[in-house]
Chain A
Amino acid sequence: KNQVEQSPQSLIILEGKNCTLQCNYTVSPFSNLRWYKQDTGRGPVSLTIMTFSENTKSNGRYTATLDADTKQSSLHITASQLSDSASYICVVSGRGGSQGNLIFGKGTKLSVKP
C-alpha cells in the first residue's frame, strides 16, 4: 500500500533554533516528492520538489534531502522564525499515476516560540 509517514507529529522549538522534519514513504513507482507548508486555516503552499536524481535542494532557510534508496526525505529549517510555525506536509507522487496518486502525509506541526 502506498503510504507516506511523517515524524515527529508535532515539534516545539525556540526562535533561532534549527530543526529537521522526517518523511518516509512506500510509494512505488516514485516520481517526485514535495514539501508543502500549511499555515493554520490556510491551504498548503509548495516549498520544494525533489525528483529521483536529486539528493539536496535548498530554498532559503529550508533544505530538503532525498534518499531514494531508503525512501526517506527530510526538511531542515535553519534559524527558525516565528513565521515558520505551520504544518509541513510531505507529498509523494507516483510515476505515471493518476492525480489520486498524490499521497499526502499527515504533516508535522511546528511551533516556533519566542
Chain B
Amino acid sequence: DTGVSQNPRHKITKRGQNVTFRCDPISEHNRLYWYRQTLGQGPEFLTYFQNEAQLEKSRLLSDRFSAERPKGSFSTLEIQRTEQGDSAMYLCASSTSSTGNTGELFFGEGSRLTVL
C-alpha cells in the first residue's frame, strides 16, 4: 500500500493557462475525491467518483474545472483558463465504500497551484 499519490506536487502557471493534476488512489479503493484547500481554511469538497462514475459535483466546480476517472483507477483534475483565485492546494483522497460512508478518507499530499 503506497498511499494516495498526487502529481505534480507544485505547479506555478500564468493566468489563462490550463493545468492538469493527477491522482493515483490506494489500489483497492473504489471511491476517489477531490478537495480544494486555501490557507487557513479546511478542505472544500469539489467532486467524487465511485469507480468511473462521477457521482457528485460541488457548486464550487465551475465549468472551467473538469475531473475524470476513465478506468476507475487514477483521476485527473483539469482547470482551464486559470484565474488567480484558483491558487490553492488541491487534495485528492480515496476510500472504500464502507470507510467513505464513515467519513474516513485517505488523503494524498496535495498539489499546490500558484497562478501568477
Contact = CB atoms under 8 A, between A and B. Distances in A.
B58 A100 contact: yes
A24 B91 CA distance: 24
A104 interface: yes
Nearest to B92: A43
Contacts of B55: 98-99
A43 B110 contact: yes
Contacts of A43: 4, 91, 93, 107-110
Interface in B16-51: 31, 33, 40-45, 48
By secondary structure, the B interface counts as loop
A46 interface: yes
A43 B6 CA distance: 11
B41 A106 contact: yes
Interface residues of B, number: 24
Interface residues of A, number: 24
Interface in A1-60: 4, 9, 31-32, 34, 41-46, 49
Interface of B: 4, 31, 33, 40-45, 48, 55-56, 58, 91, 93, 100, 102-105, 107-110
**Which 10 pairs show the lowest CB-CB distances between chains A and B?**
A43-B107, A104-B42, A93-B103, A99-B48, A100-B45, A106-B42, A104-B43, A46-B104, A44-B107, A34-B103
